[in-house]
Amino acid sequence: MTVPTLRSAGGTALLATFDSLADVVAFRAGLARDAPAGLTEVVSGARTLLLRFDPATTDAARLRTRLADVVPVAGSDHRSGDDPLVIPVTYDGEDLDTVCGLTGMTRDDLVAWHTGQLWTSAFCGFAPGFSYLTGTERPLDLPRRATARTAVPSGAVALAGEFSAVYPRTSPGGWQLVGRTDVPMWSLERTPPALAPAGTLVRFVEVGAA
């Protein structure tokens, strides 16, 4: 990957800009393994990382120097010790047949593709607890639905573009629905409330239909 461009973001943060989302995810994973002293928060975007630091421990110049030593970790390089969040899925989504038609896959092929790879929460957005997940296998680059639904149910497992996601609450949405899960992705009773904040590793596991 290329070295990120670093810019000051106020007096206690740096904004790192990358060429691709894969670079963002890999660099964040590297930070998780070897965090610089004084780094207090990392906020992911599609092409950026906002890096907040404690000025009592470090400063922008020292943090810039330390960031140059970070070794990015690609998705395929995660070790078995990195325990993923397991999400059980019933694959009976309303758009499952449509996705199979768009990709030329059988239903079993699609489920094997979705469950047979390690996903990473690249960043969160759209709604509280909505994690944009990128996988280690070739993405399907699926189009969104031509007409968005006015109400996608909570727990719907969906695909769009290079991403997979689980809708954390009932909301409008235009992603392709392939399954459902009972796992709550957002709860104010947890800390943090999001079950899969940026950097979380995720595996989907098929369960039988009710």
Q: How confident is the model at residue 208, as a pLDDT?
A: 75
3-class DSSP state for residue 76?
helix
pLDDT tens-digit readout, 102-124: 999 999 999 999 999 999 999 99
pLDDT tens-digit readout, 1-44: 567 899 999 999 999 999 999 999 999 999 988 899 999 999 99
Amino acid symbol at 69: D
State pTM to two decimals. 0.86
CA distance to 12, 89, 95, per residue, from 205 (Å): 41, 6, 19
Q: Which structural domains are found in the chain, ordered by start?
A: 5-76 (3.30.1360.40), 85-206 (2.40.100.10)
pLDDT tens-digit readout, 169-206: 999 999 999 999 999 999 999 888 999 999 999 999 99
Please say if the pLDDT value at position 147 is more than 70: yes
In 18-140, the DSSP E strands lie at 39-44, 48-53, 85-89, 119-124, 131-135
| CA separation for the pair 15, 53 (Å, rounded) | 11
Q: How confident is the model at residue 210, as a pLDDT?
A: 44
Structure tokens at 67: 């960031």
pLDDT tens-digit readout, 35-90: 999 999 999 999 999 999 999 999 999 999 999 989 998 765 554 446 899 999 99
3-class DSSP state for residue 107?
helix
3-class DSSP state for residue 53?
strand
